[in-house]
Amino acid sequence: MTRALVVHCHPAEESFVAAARDRALAGLAASGAEVRLLDLYREDFEPTLSADEHRRHLTPGVDPAVQRHADWLRWCDTLVLVYPTWWAGQPAMLKGWFDRVWACEVAWSLLPGRSVLSPRLHNVRRLVVVTTHGSSKLVNAIEGEGGKRTVSRAMRSMCHPLARTTWLAAYGLDTGSEGARSRFLERVERRLRRIGRR
């Protein structure tokens, strides 16, 4: 059975991103996957890496306030990130989740005498991103798609060596039609149902 951790990051519950989250959850539920949800804004997640956390960044473990997040990250085999793309990347809240939860001996380790991180999240075999862009695919390509690279290169490298990445993005949301929005939501649910059944 698929074990999916869905991490949702948007401040407005009535947003299109929240609707995409709901459709992702529906698809996973229809597949029979075991699902856990982290809603960062609803939890009032503190994204700021404290000075103490920074000093201890090579010390194994996380701040007790985010221990459940780390435990769930180590539990899942499928990580689903649902968020809006702002300024070509992840919202600050989600970036703070990466900074605080993807920590030493959770996502990586640094062996003595080494200068390259060793991946620790071998349990994660699938990374799924469900995101929105106000601008077109062309504008995002010109900007370099920094958010996409963060997931598909940096984060994926800390997961299973054969981990796969699925990118589901709604481009041009600021000027898109209701029909295009509906089709995207249907695509999200359909794709997550298929992923959950693997």
Q: Among 41-50, 52-61, 184-193, which stretch is predicted with the lowest mean pLDDT?
A: 52-61
E strands along 21-180, which residues? Answer: 34-39, 78-84, 108-109, 118-119, 126-132, 164-170
Task: Quote the percentage of the chain above a pLDDT of 70.
Answer: 100
pLDDT at 46: 97
Q: Quote the pLDDT of residue 141.
A: 86
Domain CATH for 182: 3.40.50.360
Six-digit token pair at 32? 């029979």
Q: What is the pLDDT of residue 146?
A: 87
How far apart CA 46 and CA 44 sit, in angstroms, is: 6
Average pLDDT over residues 68-85: 98
Cα radius of gyration (the chain) = 17
The range of the structural domain enclosing residue 184 comes to 3-196
What single DSSP character describes residue 163?
A: -
At 115 the pLDDT is: 85
Residue 145 has pLDDT above 90, yes or no: no
Q: Is the pLDDT of residue 75 over 90?
A: yes
Across the chain, the runs of DSSP E, i.e. the strands, are 3-8, 34-39, 78-84, 108-109, 118-119, 126-132, 164-170
**Smallest Cα–Cα separation from 84: which of 159, 165, 141, 140?**
140
Q: Is the pLDDT of residue 137 over 90?
A: no
Bridge partner list, 127: 79, 165
Q: How confident is the model at residue 43 (pLDDT cuts 50, 70, 90)?
A: very high
Average pLDDT over residues 56-73: 94
Q: Kindly report the pTM of this predicted structure.
A: 0.96
- At residue 12 the predicted structure's pLDDT band, cuts being 50, 70 and 90, is very high
Split into its structural domains, the chain has a count of: 1
CA distance 184 to 193: 14
Mean pLDDT within 19-41: 98
Q: In this predicted structure, what is the pLDDT of residue 176?
A: 83
E strand or H helix that includes residue 94: helix 92-101
